[in-house]
A and B are shown apart, each in its own frame.
Chain A
């Protein structure tokens, strides 16, 4: 391994901690970075510093939880994107583009506003069922020919359908106040995140990350398609079902907490491939870490770009992601 790559591996977790601290320091009430670090060390049980109660409260209960949630979402969405791109052999595949996020939103809204499932169905489970249904529908529509543009077109159709259903439910059942808050959440919002949410996100993304890493070699084997993977001894159907379900589960959990955030799963894997190459044994590490950085920084941008106002984070990621989508599309047109 080249020396600078080794530096990168050592430095990436440290720089993530730094970025999270930075994100927790920035806000209407500026807090010095040193104090943020002390709060973080206190929280991790590695220190017992005396800190102003107000500062400690703001950082621990609002900003750190928010930054940690952003990191978990960024890592989770980016990993889902990397895995979907490998399995579908499509550079444009990611949860948002394939309509999984839209389906999860519909599921979550049905549970939230209509009380579907009568309380037995929690928000995350409703989102999972919606996301899985949307994904299954999109794959069905793509007709097994997942390699080409077909699956992206199917994703567009699926997204439209489920977004329309969400809009229908919201506009017919919610009052004005509810509608406003639901629409804001749908665009991606880290505002309401509390520590229990953070633990849920970190657990789901962490376990998902480990399972994806366990499949790194298998994902590599898909590079020349499903038949090539099968002739390398990969149980293709079982792997597809398992990994598709896992991506739907991760996406749905993220959507149920922070809403549908697009393009992270598209941009980050491509940046990571550029940095560490296509082998999933290193790519999945890089993608998760880079995705976490990306989302924490996107959240900072969403809070500071318009003074006195917080943009939905989905707006920021889309502003960064849509041009990247266009570039990839353009380059593919050249090679095909």
Chain B
């Protein structure tokens, strides 16, 4: 199963956000999208999730263009966890995770035995089994992210898209959450701000700048001192530490 963007361009309010980007997400592994604010990370994810249509270029899943695939079919294969999720509705954790079964259920179809088992597994994988009756508004930021990931898992996708999943979390929860994502048997694409976390948890990186790809490859290939200076305008020392790239910033 491979998700790919072919030279896609996208405008918002007359401003060019994505300028001819091509991405191929190979099966398995974690692909990180990095880049400064406004470089197009979130927009690229939203286009890959099929929420917006590219102005030019196309998104394909296993060679089939998104428009031909149908929303429901696509939602069974690709799940998205957005950066900000909010609701006024007094819904509980289990209710949210059950939403993940939406693309798999027929109109009048009640949740079957199989659906319940999948929801149970998603709760288990994310460590939420004991929290199933907690209400959304009583959850912390990290718990909310985990619930949304559990919902995405209940979709049983082959590709999971995550937009800044560790944003607003303390370091312990950041590491826990990214560790969880890392261990999922899925292809993941996630936008990340923190370059050290990106180096720790991603197999491949794409560095964006102004809606274009500035660099792509393994963390060692992308996160070089000259590349960081060029894209972020920040001086840094890049070291190898226990097999990971480690970045120290300088003023």
Contact = CB atoms under 8 A, between A and B. Distances in A.
B62 interface: no
Interface string A46-76: 0000000000000000000000000000000
A279 B95 contact: yes
B82 A220 contact: no
Interface of A: 89, 91, 213-215, 217-218, 220-221, 223-225, 227-228, 230-235, 273, 277-279, 281, 332, 335
A217 B51 contact: no
Contact of B99 (A220, A277, A332): A220
Contact of B87 (A89, A215, A233): A89
A181 B96 CA distance: 50
Contacts of A220: 95, 99, 102
B241 interface: no
Contacts of B89: 223, 278
> Interface on chain B toward A: helix, strand, loop, or mixed SS?
loop
Interface string B30-52: 00000000000000001001110
B105 interface: yes
A230 B103 CA distance: 10
Contacts of B103: 232-233
Interface in B55-86: 71-76, 79-80, 82, 85-86
Nearest to A229: B102
**B95, B96, B102: residue with the most chain A Cβ atoms closer than 10 Å:** B102
A183 to B, nearest CB: 36
B188 to A, nearest CB: 15
Nearest to A281: B110
A213 B110 CA distance: 12
B83 to A, nearest CB: 11
A223 B99 contact: yes
**A273, A278, A332: residue with the most chain B Cβ atoms closer than 10 Å:** A278
Given A231-B51, A231-B79, A223 B91 contact: yes
B155 interface: yes
B155 A232 contact: yes
> Interface on chain A toward B: helix, strand, loop, or mixed SS?
helix
Q: Looking at chain B, what size class is its interface with the partner chain?
A: 20 to 34
B90 A228 contact: no
A302 B11 CA distance: 57
B71 A230 contact: yes
B171 interface: no
17 contacts: A215-B107, A217-B102, A220-B99, A221-B102, A224-B87, A225-B85, A225-B87, A228-B82, A230-B51, A231-B49, A231-B80, A232-B102, A233-B74, A233-B75, A233-B103, A278-B90, A278-B91
B170 interface: no
Nearest to B155: A232
B85 A335 contact: no
B208 to A, nearest CB: 21
Contact of B88 (A89, A218, A221): A89
A231 B88 contact: no
Nearest to B148: A224
B168 interface: no
Given A220-B99, A232-B103, 13 more contacts: A89-B87, A220-B95, A221-B102, A224-B86, A227-B46, A227-B51, A273-B90, A277-B90, A278-B89, A279-B95, A332-B88, A335-B88, A335-B137
Contacts of B107: 214-215, 217
A89 B86 CA distance: 10
